[in-house]
Structure 1
Amino acid sequence: MSNRFPRSVYARGSEPDPRFSLANERTFLAWVRTSLALLAAGVALEALQVPISPGFRLASAIVFVLLGVLAAIQAWIGWARTEQALRENRPLPAPSTGVAIVGGVIVGVVLLTLGFFW
């Protein structure tokens, strides 16, 4: 088991119930899907002819792309922190970037709305 990647996760504690590790993996994949959707939204805003003021459209696209990157980072860090907690029989950590992502989505939507009516 010592050759599993990342060692910083698998070298700790003992093997948890496989159901919990698999649930953690599904959560990781959900964050990855969220990341891809946010990135796609940002790219689509600039690639398609959306009838929104160009400045607001660009600002919103940048917000969505940055949120997509943040969600991908959350996927990896969240998976590792949760897997370590499972292996060490500790309480599970809360998502560290959830509030930032929700806030960013709100900012992106507000920018789109302003750009639509501007």
Structure 2
Amino acid sequence: MPHSRQAPADTPSSTGTRCADGRPTRAPRTARPLDPYAEGSEPDPRFSLANERTFLAWQRTALALMAGGVGVEALTEHTAGRDLLAVALILLGICCAVTAQFRWASVERAMRTSRPLPRLRGGRLLPVALAVLGVAFAAMILVR
């Protein structure tokens, strides 16, 4: 999630230079792939907060998918497809959580640098995978 926006004021730079008032200068921030704060300017807080709410919604979805996988494994009769469905739900939840982090960072970076918002890559994966899993669950129930 979001990192601290500024390095501490007393962090000396690699050259050891000092400001006019004697304080050490700050070291330049190194860019990290998931750190959108390394570039650009502060966007309207409403947009950043909306981006964070969306991130949290993705995380809730990921948690629900993983909990569903654990529930299928723990609470259903042992059948041939049970383990496969449980693992598929857990893996889908993991993919959703990872996608959320990358999506949050890319949207935040785009807002900070005044670029168009990025397209959602793999946006069809979640609904298609859920539809396939739904059909598999229905078949598992009917065969029982």
Alignment TM-score, normalising by the size of structure 2: 0.73
Whole-angstrom CA distance in 1 between matches of 2:67 and 2:123: 19
SS of structure 2 residue aligned to 1:55: coil
Hey, what does 1:83 align to over in structure 2? 108
Deviations 1:22-80 (A, max 9, x none): 000000000000000000111000011x25x6122222111111110011011100100
* Aligned mates of 2:86, 2:120 — CA distance in 1: 24
**Structure 1: distance between partners of 2:129 and 2:37:** 33
Letter of the aligned partner of 2:107 in structure 1? T
1:67 to 92, 96, 109: 92
Alpha-carbon displacement from aligned partner over 1:62-100 (angstroms, at most 9, x marks no partner):
111111001101110010000000001111112223211
Alignment check: 8 A CA contact 1:34 1:71 kept: yes
In 2, the alpha carbon distance for the partners of 1:97 and 1:69 equals: 14
The total of aligned residue pairs comes to 115
Q: Distance in 1 between matches of 2:85 and 2:57?
A: 23
Structure having the higher Rg: 2
For 1:54, what is the secondary structure of its paired residue?
coil
Query: Secondary structure at the residue paired with 1:71?
Result: helix
Between the aligned residues of both structures, percent identity stands at 46
TM-score normalised per structure 1: 0.88
Q: Which residue of 1 aligns with 2:20?
A: none
Structure number with higher relative contact order (C-alpha < 8 Å, ≥ 6 residues apart): 1
Matched, 1:111 2:115: no
Q: Structure 2 stretches of 5 or more lacking a match?
A: 8-28
| CA distance in 2 between partners of 1:77 and 1:96 (Å) | 10
